[in-house]
Amino acid sequence: MLNKPTLLGVLAALTLFGSLPAQADVDGQQLYRQHCVKCHAEDGRANTMRGWLFFAQNLSKAKWQDNNSDADILNAIQEGPGAMPGYADTLSEAEQLALVKAVRDLRKP
């Protein structure tokens, strides 16, 4: 039997994969520029003044990308870790999933 966090992760992943066609209509890169660039920067490295002040995560690091699942990223978008606001009530599910993909696209070697 799966424990509760694992089960939630599996359900989130199934939701992500089940709604991929819906993402085609949503521009995740535009949403990233609109909501995330001010802290995480265009390249995801969080080398902005706001990023430094609020300890924003460097989203481009391969190690960070490897250590965080899509469900982890989705949860961060929804709940907002630290000083980051949550977007669960602001963005639709399709927009949130498009942002997950946009964050994944920031990965650098």
Q: Which pLDDT belongs to residue 15?
A: 62
What is the share, in percent, of the chain residues with pLDDT greater than 70?
Answer: 78
Give the pTM. 0.76
Residues sharing a CB contact under 8 Å with residue 12, sequence separation 6 or more, in sequence order: 70, 71, 74, 75
CATH of the domain at 30: 1.10.760.10
Q: Does 93 fall in a domain?
A: yes
Q: Please indicate, yes or no, if residue 109 is contained in any of the structural domains.
A: no
Residue 96 lies in a domain: yes
User: Does 64 fall in a domain?
Assistant: yes
Provide the number of structural domains found in the chain: 1
Which domain range does residue 42 map to? 4-104
Q: CA–CA separation, 54 vs 69, rounded Å?
A: 23
On whether the CB atoms of residues 74 and 104 are closer than 8 A, the answer is no
Token reading at 37 = 């660039």
Domain presence at residue 36: yes
Query: Does residue 49 lie within any of the structural domains?
Result: yes
